[in-house]
A and B are shown apart, each in its own frame.
Chain A
Amino acid sequence: MTQITPPKAFRQGLRRSLPFVVIVVPFGTLFGVVASEAGFDLVQTMGFTALVIAGAAQFASLQMMQDHAPILMVLLAGLAVNMRMAMYSASLVPYLGKAPFWQRALAAYVLFDQSYAVSLERFEHEHEMTIPARMSFFMGVAVPISILWCGATAFGALVGSVIPSSMGLDFALPITFIALIGPMLKSLPHVTAAVVSVAGALALGWMPSGVGLLIAAGLAMLTGALVEQWSSKWAH
């Protein structure tokens, strides 16, 4: 098999990013709308979306701010949602770990669910790719998604102030979170982790803002990992 050149890999990545337009545009728009409804100005909303580039974490920390949580709890909620990025980072090391430092830093900046999932699938199935070709493919997926994400947020922030608040916008965040979680409930460990998270958070709701949630999330992660371990043992 001939090796794919970096420019060709980049164009392949671009094509693989296309299906995500239908997710990223409405989702980014929604963040812009919700942030501007919450009172963020355009610069703050765009700073948030361009510097963090992590939809679920942005929504999570915004939700904690709606609850007037202490700054530490706002940060912990957003970063807890992003812990999975550390896992992504670790699992890309065998494929991108030998690229130049600045390229790895750039890739890390745009490492999110879609760029990770598409790239890992490709790297696992095509062993002949050179490191520059892998990096080009990864950036081909990530760059258009990042640009669309920021553009959609800007659009949402600009139209957000026009949407009447009686449209049930108060519930846009909960609906978004539920919509994110539904597709993740794909195995028994995921479902049990979600159930423990809900039960724990409700039972510990009397604790100071955010503390009960962090304890519940820790228990839920442990539950998911243990159930996965047990079920893989039963399978053998």
Chain B
Amino acid sequence: MGALGYSTAEIWLIIVLLAVGTFALRFSFLAILGDRTLPPFLLRLLRYTPVAVIPGMVAPLVLWPAATGGETDPLRLAAAAASLLVGVATRNVVWAILAGAVVLVGGIWATGSL
């Protein structure tokens, strides 16, 4: 079954290549490095990949959500802010997700909007 405009073959291609690539990253140094170590600056760069990729990916989704046709939505901004604040304060991913979900779902019910 295809999805999101990708054929079945394309979806499996994505899954398999992502799996192989992810395994290669995980096995990389455990497989080949033996007892040698990496240049410290390279390790330092790698340390920042999650905070370098995810915020940039999420910012346009928050500012111009697909559900409102790309128009900035105060409710989704509030849900995003709640999730960020609770995540920073509690350092807990699940509490942060719950905070965002409560604001969003509560807001949708209260305003009757999408």
Contact = CB atoms under 8 A, between A and B. Distances in A.
A77 B65 CA distance: 19
B18 A75 contact: yes
A221 B83 contact: no
A162 interface: no
B53 A213 contact: yes
B27 A89 contact: yes
A235 interface: no
A90 B45 CA distance: 13
Given A79-B21, A79-B25, A175-B100, A182 B51 contact: no
Given A173-B61, A177-B57, A202-B60, 4 more contacts: A66-B66, A79-B25, A97-B33, A219-B52
Interface residues of A, number: 99
Give chain B's interface residue range (CB within 8 Å of chain A).
35 or more
B87 A181 contact: yes
B67 interface: yes
Given A68-B4, A92-B30, A75 B21 contact: yes
Interface in B1-60: 1-6, 8, 10-19, 21-23, 25-31, 33-35, 37-38, 41, 43-60
Contacts of B63: 202
Of the candidates B13, B27, B33, B79, the one having the most CB atoms from chain A within 10 angstroms of its own CB is B27
Contacts of B55: 181, 194-195, 197-198, 201, 220
B51 A181 contact: yes
Interface string A152-172: 000000000000001110111
Main secondary structure of the interface of A (DSSP, over half): helix
Interface stretch (A3-11, A33-41, A126-134): A33-41
A33 to B, nearest CB: 12
B93 A23 contact: yes
A135 to B, nearest CB: 11
Given A56-B50, A178-B83, A217 B56 contact: yes
Nearest to A226: B44
Interface string A33-65: 000001111001001100111101100110101
A22 interface: yes
Closest 4 CB pairs of A and B: A182-B87, A39-B3, A201-B56, A224-B48
Nearest to B46: A87
Contacts of B46: 83-84, 86-87, 221
